[in-house]
A and B are shown apart, each in its own frame.
Chain A
Amino acid sequence: MSKKLVTVTILLIVLACVLPLVLTNYRTFQATLVLVYAIALLGLNILTGYNGQISLGHGAFYAIGAYAAAMLMDQAGMPYWATIPIAGAVCLVIGFLFGLPALRLEGLYLALATFALAVSMPPILKAHFLEKWTGGVQGIVIVKPDPPAWLAAAGVKLSADQWLYYFVLAIAIVLFIAGWNLISGRVGRALVAIRDHHTAAEAMGINSAIYKSLAFGVSAMYTGIAGALGAIAVQFVAPDSFTVFLSITFLVGIVVGGLASLSGALHGALFIQFVPNIADELSKAAPWAVFGVFLIGFVYLMPTGVAGALRALTRRRSSGKLLHPKEALP
């Protein structure tokens, strides 16, 4: 990691820490959702951006994480923080198992299989025989967690929204650092190698079957953790919050933000959180048409995503010694 990158990252974390102190509770809540989406997109980016496996079904893992957290809190009375690792572990296992048969599928066929996962999720969640646990069409209402008592005892007064923001921020930082470590080491190189040249990767000794299924598992784990945090933030889960539209929104997020880029997850999260709102304010009649215009504009102006555009910009500014004539992914 370059010195400059470290500086930017630290500045960003500092900024993220002061943000809720200057924002309203509602804006803080929105910022929390941005962090939640960033975690989800980071997960999808590990799979699609770095490993080249297209998923149109990550909304399903987000849903599983969300329901795992909601059900554990609602029925088992578990504290909200304890549900996070469980939601992650459940999605890790399910993602890995889904990844095994998906090994036989490439490109568009994999996209279709994951699409099937996404469309089947709402009906499963509504299923009559599961209603006892899932709450059926009604879903489950969750109580917003209060700031812990030790914080108040230490003299720090936070609103529930502020506390949740910091809670999510801490988890996001940990997950981003872990993601960075993963991507920049031996495993990350193997994932990209498989994406770039499958047979050459295997000739180099990479067991692509294992790597691809584990990438699926880890990716689902990230997105599942995001789902759990999202459920706690919005205090509610219901089948129709997790339609295939959510999956496609995630895919839009990583493409707009920047494929195979960690910072792209953050840019993408900002996009999917705020651009629909902006579109809605611009046109009450046809907000999605406005959204579409935004989307086309972004993709047209920044074909390698926001992350790619920023990278090209800083590179142009920092020096003339251009070693890469073409913008390549990291």
Chain B
Amino acid sequence: MAAGAEQALLRVQDVAVRFGGIVALDGVSFDVPAGRIVGLIGPNGAGKTTLFNCISRLYPCERGDIAFAGRSLLGVPRHRIAALGIGRTFQNLALFRTMSVLENVMVGRHSRSRGGFFSAAVRLPYAVRADAEARGKARELLALLDLERFADSSVAALPFGTQKRVELARALAAEPKLLLLDEPASGLNHEEVGAIGALIRSLRERLELTVLLVEHHMQLLMSLSDWVVALNFGRRIAEGTPAEVRNHPELVRAYLGTAASFST
């Protein structure tokens, strides 16, 4: 990134992923500096979600490396990623649909909590305390995201926009340093889009988050991001400040004939 004065929290280097004949990522490199919001854009199928899935270790990388806080993630099993300080939301909601809102957020606390089968079954004091702590933390987040009144509702019954906020709360429950947001505004109405933008901004301040943001809503993405990386067909085609990237000829060409609008 620009100056290089800041330490990169996430460093993506020459990452390649292939699904059969499809090259989903083809040597992508960029940095996400600590404390910044980096926007990741590109037309449908560009490889944005695939990159998220590589960072979450859901997909293996064929080539390249992903380092978080100076440490390669490629040898880390996927269930350890949360504990390292990387939280995420999913493009198509991935909530635990039979659970209540509160329980969903408490599961998000799993990696910061302790207690196994035995300690739970006989209610060892530390396990009971850990459970109470997780509940308290989850309630705090519900308050922060204006979800308190839904605490005991089943998530499946909530409107789409509310479910997205629950997913955000669940991701925050582990107190991540880096938050990966995959299209937080998709499916939201105009008002909700404005609200989610303000929310992301305020969360970044309050929780000192670093954010990697995928979003098709250009206006939102450009207004939130400190830096923008553009992908097309698995390749990085442009990188820079929102102002620089917005008019980049490669990007304009990539989006030609697609529905995305760049009007600001």
Contact = CB atoms under 8 A, between A and B. Distances in A.
Q: Do A and B bind each other?
A: yes
Interface residues of B, number: 43
B115 A200 contact: no
Contact of B120 (A186, A200, A203, A326): A186
Contacts of A205: 79-83, 110-111, 174
B124 to A, nearest CB: 10
Contacts of B94: 197, 199-200, 203
Nearest to A203: B56
A182 B120 contact: yes
A206 interface: yes
Interface of B: 56, 58, 77-83, 88, 90, 94-99, 103, 106-108, 110-111, 113-117, 120-123, 127, 130-131, 134, 152-154, 156-157, 170, 174
Interface stretch (A37-45, A188-196, A226-234): A188-196
Contacts of A214: 116-117
Contacts of A204: 82, 107-108, 110-111, 170, 174
Most buried by B among A189, A192, A193, A205: A205
A182 B127 contact: no
Interface in A172-214: 178-179, 181-182, 185-190, 192-193, 195-197, 199-208, 214
Given A196-B97, A200-B95, A323-B153, A185 B127 contact: yes
Interface string A312-330: 0000000000011110111
28 contacts: A178-B122, A185-B120, A185-B127, A186-B120, A186-B134, A187-B120, A189-B110, A192-B96, A193-B96, A193-B99, A196-B96, A197-B94, A199-B94, A200-B90, A201-B96, A202-B78, A202-B79, A203-B81, A203-B82, A204-B107, A205-B110, A206-B79, A208-B79, A323-B153, A324-B157, A326-B154, A328-B97, A329-B98
B154 A181 contact: no
B261 to A, nearest CB: 31
Contacts, number: 116
Nearest to A191: B117
Contacts of B122: 178, 181
Given A202-B78, A203-B88, A182 B117 contact: yes
B138 to A, nearest CB: 11
Given A189-B107, A192-B96, 6 more contacts: A186-B113, A190-B110, A192-B99, A202-B58, A204-B107, A323-B157
A272 interface: no
A218 interface: yes
B115 A187 contact: yes
A186 B94 CA distance: 19
Given A178-B122, A190-B110, A328 B117 contact: no
A192 B110 CA distance: 13
A188 B120 contact: yes
Contact of A192 (B58, B81, B98, B108): B98
A325 B157 contact: yes
Contacts of A195: 98
B117 to A, nearest CB: 6
Interface of A is mostly: helix
Nearest to A209: B79
Contacts of B107: 189-190, 193, 201, 204, 206
Contacts of A199: 58, 94
A329 B154 CA distance: 9
Nearest to A186: B115
Nearest to A196: B96
B94 to A, nearest CB: 4
Contacts of B154: 323-324, 326, 328
A66 B158 CA distance: 47
Contact of A203 (B78, B106, B113, B157): B78
Contacts of B78: 202-203
A323 B154 CA distance: 8
B96 A207 contact: no
Contact of A186 (B80, B81, B88, B127): B127
Interface string A142-183: 000000000000000000000000000000000000110110
B197 to A, nearest CB: 24
A140 to B, nearest CB: 31
Contact of B110 (A178, A186, A218): A186
Contacts of A203: 56, 58, 78, 81-82, 88, 94
A185 B97 contact: no
A193 B134 CA distance: 16
B204 to A, nearest CB: 21
B170 to A, nearest CB: 7
B116 A187 contact: yes
B88 to A, nearest CB: 6
A260 to B, nearest CB: 8
